[in-house]
Structure 1
């Protein structure tokens, strides 16, 4: 698999196999080369997909003894003629370069590709070699889920097939009953019977033609699904992990294309009834009211739609010894300070222990001293959202209503500067001594200097046009970390805007507030998973620091104060601020 040049002879050999299969003759390549034997071997022939060679049993035994060939995909003689070579070739071949094999995998784009694609499109990605991401794929949830979904879909199609067939048979029986009932009135309503029968025939043929067409399509899809199931069984028992991995994607693509075709087939049964039974019994008096109508009964048969399987490289959760411990110092219950419940999502802390938070419910800024006592609240000029400390005397907020950033004096609460962002902004953080970074809906990330001008920053496309809240933080190396709530992910960018990694974990749902500690490790508030997650600075390890057992419920904002070595959390849907010592 490591040599892309092997694909051309592989295809030629496949065409040669077609010819040999037609003649039912296959010759051992090793015997042909070494012993110059061109006659068919009496021993069973096997095919090595990696070497692209056919071996008789003695040669195959020698081949399997070499450690270098231990993981090769060997197709035994009894499976050669039914093995899905076409599927295997499509899975192995690079989508962009048909003459090269897939060798690498990009977890960010969920795509396998060749070396040329790596150079052209994935140089900046955290790509891996296929062999590094396909280990134990036979036991993975992706492979098991695909088999289960194909089986479930196959069973659903069979069930629908039986129901549709019974539907036609039932219609035929009902048609006979219907005609018998009509003929009893022929003497009195001959003309009416003729008209109603003709109307019924047209509707019957229309319905049965549609049902027959759907049955034919269902038979075809049934056969295709059975073929996919058999192909998957062959590949799973005879191929290496990387080929199974690639085959999963190929089969998924085929199934999605099949879904587009079968989507128009409705899961229902059709019945042809007379609209008014009373009118039918008194037809001599109410002939004009009798009509033939089409009635449909929706079946409770669910045909599952197969969605693309994505291999997410999960972070390591065990053996983490450098994660910190937290000790609760104080809870500030905001609803006890004011008779009306407040809603605090974001706040910032200062060296003297002071906390200034944005109360979104009452449209004001609230200030607490280091003992957690409310010092004052100041009515805001607009709808503020994000807030960050710039110096010990100055802080900045994002005005999501007027698309701007406001800079305030902490002591007087007077406005110092107003900077228009021209677009809706949300999260904000200090970038350097002379600049701040703001999360925006369209441009993603914008860095603004002390004069209000934009600093050039190469924001990746992943963050543009998100139209969602973008919370962010900055470490000592000017690396930017962003939490994407809807995507359940955290992304890391270096000082030039290059994507370093994308973090996902089953333990983190609805990531919201984000901050970094002294070691530039990341801390994220899981608003849906009800926890605080610590992520090592390289994104490869993570650990839950606080959960519901520690009183964490729907946390929003989060900030680590390096001077005081404390972690402050906006807890319980913004009704409480929890302060933890960082141990």
Structure 2
């Protein structure tokens, strides 16, 4: 039968027979014509179209990621092959050096013993010549000499023989039989030139399914803020010298404000974004604070300690520091990533437990403030007199000249708001990056603005103002 009805209780399209058998007790069965009315303006239409685009984009990104992984492994293989050959050459050179050293020592030992032995041979030859001469003379006298001559000669030879014996005994006592041997190094077996390690990390391509809406519920487009109206100035419960830097809001509506003054390195906490609750003191000046969405945790940069530190926003207690290895200023967080930026344009990507996943080198400018755009998977980065938009792989999307170093935030529609420190204004770039307009200026009491944030329902804007001395609150129209 024709499917011409829709049961909103079960969210299923059915036929007339199905209604009488399976949906007779359902109270919200609509004709398909009515249920599908304005379907092209419905959230279902938007969600399906967005999800298909999202899936295609994700699959293309995954395919590119896999191809990039294959290419990087090939590059790694080539680099490692060169390393192995370099290690081999180094070891062979060491073996050649050891061989030359041993052969040099062998020649030196041989020459030393040859000198001693040749000296002894000369002494032996001298004694032997004298004895042979005496022997020849004795033979001649024995045949031709008189008895008197023979007797006198024999008496002389007694002394000569005695001297020869003494000399021979001396030579024998001084003589040693020299030899040189080679003891092979027993543990000289070369086991390995090194080792290979596999490194695994989560694929950088992420996929987050979108939730389908029912066709009969029309998707109401979110409207941009039309403007702002000054509401109040936050009453700061402190008399210390202030140099406020960053402001953020937790999921349970607590306002977090950092003070970078060295005499008071603190994080101030205001419940319901208005009433002072407590403060946390740090070992060095805390610069930027970012709340990890969907959790009771925030994370703060401590640039002079080259570290970040996690905070429990329910108990307002500190966790251990995580060393970044560089002077880190800006920080921003998504649901599964934390990005930390600082000197030399360095950006490090971390998981939400603080484990460093990769380092992104984007430019040479120092990074002071940054925010993550989850819609486009981009980072909006604030450098001195520059606003940069970069992909999470470090690729520059665009660069814009701005005034000084001040805050940058996103609204619900992912429009970009950035402050001009010396121009005393706040401007907005549309999410499609087509338009830029001024939203607040000196007429609205904007004076040397710095850190900014919206509250959770985007009805209020908090601005660190007056050269980092106060926090102004503006209502969103």
TM-score by length of 2: 0.49
Question: Quick check: which has more Rg, 1 or 2?
Answer: 2
